[in-house]
Chain A
Amino acid sequence: MTTASSAARSSAQASDPFSIPFDERIKEALDNKTLKIAIDRTTNNARDKRAAAVAAWPGFAEARTLGKSIKQHVIDHLDHYLVEFEANALRSGAKVHWASTSDEACAIVIDLCRKAGAKSVTRAKSMLGEEIGLPHALEDAGITRVETDLAEHIVQLAHDRPSHIIWPALHRTREEVAELFRANHHKPQNSDDIESMVASAREELRGRFLAADVGISGANFLIADSGAICTVTNEGNAELTTTIPRVHIVTAGIEKLVPSLSHAMVLLRLLVRSATGADLTQYTTFHCGPKRRGDRDGPEEFHIVLVDNGRTKMRNEGLADMLRCLRCGACMNHCVVFRQIGGHAYGGAYPGPMGSVMTPIFNGLEKSHDLPQACTLNGSCQEVCPVDIPLPTLLRGWREKSWREGLEPQIVRQSLGFWAFGARHPFLYHIGTRLAVRGMRLFAKGGWIRSLPLASGWTRHRDFPKPAPRTFMEEWNQQQRLKAKG
């Protein structure tokens, strides 16, 4: 009993995380002692590597502007490129399916799996798959789902939800992963070094790759002028997923289009540097149609499911900028809130700043109106975004909409300045103090408070959770000292 109810209350595992209030989700994250360590280990590394990659390319800023223009051009002419892509994909022998909603998309995939007589499917990590709830849909349909990305494999074994779009298992420490593998793998590692653990997973999944009837992947790009789709991975699991089974199904958001391969190259450089700091991932593969005559491997059927799920609405109703997103994860690696609470507390498929902009689309503003509030508007997410998405502006837009729609509690409080504001908003205060010096500098320049939309309900109090009192007091005292000095 206790196990079941505590599982239901865990935002890492809940099937509807929004059933747990946001402040409880945050408290759970802040109370988790190892979580912050786990988040830091991966995000610090990612930030350092991205910074080095950007520094090594003097023209990065120009390329970023170009990348932004390319994506914007596609979003402006999305109908044109969809039709062109479809025609070329059909010509390559692919089958193209269209889905307006996540349910439609899942139904198409399940139907294709059933027609293929699939008992077991392998999946290569795809954020769109998470967005539309494909893992659950497959399970509900009684189809064995094998996650092949190492992190997704860990997430599946732990019955967790992914907590980052590039490193879905970032919330798990190596000790926890070792435990999971020992409990679940046929040949667990002999010693708990990461290399042995990876080797154990490799062996565990090899047989699963060979046994799969259908392989499901996402797409990082859809190339309009050839009808090819592009996957980007480091492990090689995507290619084992897409090459071995008889059927390959691609699920992709309609915004993933690029006019041509040359355009894709520019975006690939920006995507990979922003995500991992590499010049290119180990495996960048362009898939075009099914097995050809004479091919010794490859799928006999190649299906592409083009998914809207709110994207046309985003484009037409003020969130077109968000459709440029390459899903690189840089905005969350650099977000002071994400780095405190990790991905699960956000509740949706996408965490961090980009998640806070998109989750209201996918899960409704009523459930997720707190997310756009959990932001210091320091602007670093937009700064590091490889396609210059104005995330803070879009978050402010949600705040205003949420206020207009009466979703915020009607408690009016006056903002008395940063520290008084902080004392009343211990959670944000907590975040602010982690970056105390920076926060003060921003405040001194008037950037912080002045950029808050005072008229739009931001200062009308949200009940942010309190961190542990001891921590709060320690930090409060430290702030007092800083303040006295300043």
Chain B
Amino acid sequence: MSARELILSALRQGNTATAAGEPNDAGAIAAAADALIADLSLGRPRLGEGSLPMLFERQITSPKVAASLDKAASLADVPRAVDIYLTTHGLAREIALQPEPALTAMDWSGYHLHEEVKSDTIVAVGKALWGIAETGTLVFHSGPHSPTLFDFFPLHHLVVIEASRILGYLEDYVAASMGQPVPRNVNFVTGASGTTDIEGTLVRGAHGPRFLHVILVEDS
């Protein structure tokens, strides 16, 4: 017998021995699984009061997530917001720009742009697909416009997110992506890379970005 058959047959033998009388057909199992999450509120903490962008901002800048956040009135104002960040941190106007049409369409004159992110990239600018207020999470789907390494190589990761893309709970992301093809990678980014591996002390920039900066676009 193959390992697969061995494992499945052992499990099935166990089924008859333990789950006596319980319905075991696919439909009944699916119904039982659905019933478990019929009331989503049981499995999550309640969001506080306020608009979703407000809650998102509060969470992502809280000590728990510790990202920095700036606001831009519209997408057209993003290059200026990036410039403010670079100037504040004494960084050159040289960025790897995620090949996302909404970003590449912006006016980046005065910037030295790279289309690719490299392992020694200092600053990358990207755009998140969703934000999640509950956890202060930025969601990226891998794809031609969103290479995964943009989220992990740079030292400073600057992320644009539109206020209208902010969801409440983790499950709202599930609902929003329901019925769509599952991308190769769904990356939930909740703060800059960190480690507590040496004596429990938190240090940022373990392998991924040391700095996460969010540019919240209020009107899009």
Contacts and interface: CB of A to CB of B under 8 A. Distances in A.
Contacts of A296: 99, 116, 144, 147
A205 to B, nearest CB: 7
B200 A73 contact: no
B51 interface: no
A436 interface: no
B148 A298 contact: yes
A335 interface: no
A253 to B, nearest CB: 11
A239 interface: yes
Nearest to B41: A59
Q: Which of A63, A239, A259, A290 has the most CB of B within 10 A?
A: A239
Interface stretch (B42-50, B72-80, B101-109): B42-50
A198 B36 contact: no
Given A235-B206, A312-B10, A169 B184 contact: no
B34 to A, nearest CB: 8
A198 B206 contact: yes
A287 B26 contact: no
B142 interface: yes
Given A173-B199, A312-B14, A82 B185 contact: no
Contacts of B147: 295-297
A208 to B, nearest CB: 11
A198 B3 contact: no
B17 A287 contact: no
B143 A295 contact: yes
Interface stretch (B85-93, B122-130, B189-197): B189-197
Contact of A154 (B18, B151, B190, B197): B197
Given A41-B199, A263-B37, A280 B3 contact: no
A92 B191 CA distance: 29
Contacts of B53: none
B171 interface: yes
B84 interface: no
B187 to A, nearest CB: 5
B67 to A, nearest CB: 10
B64 A279 contact: yes
A308 B206 contact: no
B121 to A, nearest CB: 11
A228 B182 CA distance: 9
B36 A210 contact: no
A38 B200 CA distance: 9
B59 to A, nearest CB: 8
A433 B64 CA distance: 36
A70 interface: yes
A289 B184 contact: yes
A287 B208 contact: no
A283 B151 CA distance: 10
Nearest to A292: B184
A236 B208 contact: yes
Contacts of A243: 148-149, 152, 185
Nearest to A78: B11
Contact of B45 (A56, A174, A285): A56
Interface residues of A, number: 102
Interface string A254-285: 10000111110110110000001011111111
A88 to B, nearest CB: 9
A313 B185 CA distance: 34
Contacts of B142: 292, 295, 297-298
Contact of B8 (A79, A154, A239, A268): A79
Given A235-B193, A297-B148, A315 B198 contact: no
Given A80-B29, A149-B197, A240-B207, A59 B152 contact: no
A388 B65 CA distance: 28
A154 to B, nearest CB: 7
Interface stretch (A7-15, A97-105, A460-468): A97-105
A66 B200 contact: no
Interface string B11-24: 11111011100101
Given A296-B144, A316-B14, A308 B184 contact: no
Nearest to B10: A312
Contact of B19 (A67, A76, A172, A279): A76
Given A63-B42, A262-B171, A316-B17, A283 B189 contact: yes
A292 B143 contact: yes
Contacts of B198: 150, 154, 169, 172, 174, 177, 194, 197-198
Interface string A68-79: 011001001111
Contact of B43 (A206, A266, A292, A313): A266
A98 B4 contact: yes
A59 B119 CA distance: 42
A146 B138 CA distance: 29
A73 B188 CA distance: 26
B188 A284 contact: yes
Contacts of A172: 198
B22 A76 contact: yes
A262 B137 CA distance: 16
Contacts of A226: 182
A234 B206 contact: yes
16 contacts: A42-B196, A59-B42, A82-B7, A169-B197, A170-B200, A194-B199, A201-B206, A244-B149, A259-B30, A262-B37, A265-B44, A266-B43, A279-B65, A285-B187, A308-B3, A315-B14
Given A237-B206, A316-B13, 5 more contacts: A42-B199, A169-B198, A195-B203, A282-B189, A295-B144
> What are the 6 tightest A-B residue pairs by CB atom distance, in nearest-first order?
A236-B208, A266-B43, A294-B144, A316-B14, A235-B206, A151-B197
